[in-house]
Amino acid sequence: MSTRDLTHEPAGSPGVQPRPADGSSVAGSGRAGIAALVVVAVAYPVLWVLARPGGQPLGRFLGELCGAEAVLLFSCSLVLATLLAPIERAFGGLDRVAVWHRRAAVVGVLLLIPHVALVSSAPDRYATSLGHALGDVALIGLLVLTLWAIAPSLRAARWPGPIQRMARAAYERWLTGHRLTGLFVIVAVVHGAIVDPVLRHSVLLRVAFLIVGAAGAVAYLYRELLARYVVPIYDYTVADVRRPNKTTLDVTLTPVRKQLTFSPGQFVFLALGGSGGWQRHPFSVSSSPSARRLELTIKAAGDYTRDLYGQLRPGVPAKLAGPFGGFDYRQGGQNQIWVAGGIGVTPFLSWIRSIDGSFDRQVDFFYSVAHAEDAVDLDEIRAIAERHPSLRVHPVITASGGRLTPEAVMHEAAPAPSPWFYMCGPPAMMKAFSASFRKLGVPASRIRWEQFDVR
């Protein structure tokens, strides 16, 4: 998970935002947050139905209900984007927060379709041109920003040129545009408060609607104006830069003052000084928490990381924020199977480098890369495995030995009752493996995978 463009970050902060994610929950981890989100999303329309004022035509009432529910989901999405630690814990990791943030926003946009179609089904003599203009602004803005948010997953040639350009937009430009979402949600709240006839005839629903809108607005303003002062920032210096192959960069950072503490498998947000202008990007930590220096293993997969590969030198100042993430094998059982695809090895490197005499898991580690030279730090991994026989390493070179498959993993792993599965790699690979493992009888509760392409 070297380069994950998460969904948001507080403005001006040198690193707090999501690319880490979906996956099945681990021992209940993440269920509290999801359950809370679902309860709120269901309870709100139930309240509307129970408190429906008399004399409201059914079609228009349903249209206004869809609009109110859309505002609720957008507000929930903004709350999730605050990246507050209690929210991350409730969802079992920032990667899952990012996914549910996006899901809430997408469903909110879809609800705008019946809202627009039904609200005009009956005349409203209190409607104003200002209210409708605000609605149009909010609708267009939210549609464009949501399309931009999902554009990277729509890169097939069949899509129109504008969507292709959105999909290829630089991360910083994408993030800057995406941060306008909160403004359009606030406009939508004002629009509803002005024109919604249901709210005009129900004090309870009007108060509930304003509370929902205020929650989203406060979350947005916190993220944009206050979060930079809340999240601790750590000053580091680039101490060493290694290039083990043509696309991978190992960056070693030395703390200037206070050292960032983290758990193996977590990630940080990194901003580097120099000509790049403190651009913020998330990267998994590949070093052990006990190491004095912090190491990031980065894949040159985009414009920014390719520039880093070619230009980064020791001595560059750096700022870190974090740590984030809940990818932790210690939450699983005694018998485990780890699967890394390509640069997805990064969190596993931190796990493996942290192994000591207290390591009590039986692990089969499958490390799949396209070519032998892509297997970052494989010799070090093997050396650690020799000192800890309960860690069994299975390198897979697809160019010479064929692709790794879930069936091969199940066949080659040491027989063990009820193993837990931890995976990190390209999203398409992780989705396919997760689905296959479930078909092979592995309970979803024992599969945890870290996606790193949520943008």
DSSP letters of 270-292? EEE-STT-S-EEEEEB-S-TTSS
Q: In this structure, which CATH number among 3.40.50.300, 3.40.50.80, 3.60.10.10, 3.20.20.210 belongs to the domain 329-450? A: 3.40.50.80
For residue 446, give the DSSP letter: G
pLDDT for residue 22 is more than 50: no
Q: How confident is the model at residue 177 (pLDDT cuts 50, 70, 90)?
A: low
Strand partners, 103: none
Q: Taking the CB of residue 310, how many other CB atoms lie within 10 A of it? A: 10
Q: How confident is the model at residue 19 (pLDDT cuts 50, 70, 90)?
A: very low
Q: What is the pLDDT of residue 454?
A: 43
Please report where in the chains the tokens 């000509």 appear, as a residue: 275
Q: How far apart are CA 255 and CA 292, in angstroms?
A: 8
Q: How far apart are CA 260 and CA 289, in angstroms?
A: 9
Q: How far apart are CA 249 and CA 227, in angstroms?
A: 30
CATH of span 233-324: 2.40.30.10
Contact 453, 4 (CB under 8 A): yes
Lowest mean pLDDT among 129-138, 156-165, 408-417: 156-165
Q: What is residue 180's three-state secondary structure?
A: coil
pLDDT tens-digit map of 187-218: 888 988 888 888 989 999 999 999 999 999 99
**Considering only CA atoms, which of 158, 307, 142, 295 is closest in space to residue 150?**
142
Mean pLDDT of 374-386: 91
Instruction: Work out the mean pLDDT of the chain and round it to a whole number.
Output: 82
Mean pLDDT of 245-257: 91
pLDDT for residue 254 is more than 80: yes
**Considering only CA atoms, which of 153, 164, 61, 46 is closest in space to residue 106?**
153
Any idea where the domains of the chain sit in the sequence? 31-230, 233-324, 329-450
Q: What is the pLDDT of residue 126?
A: 64
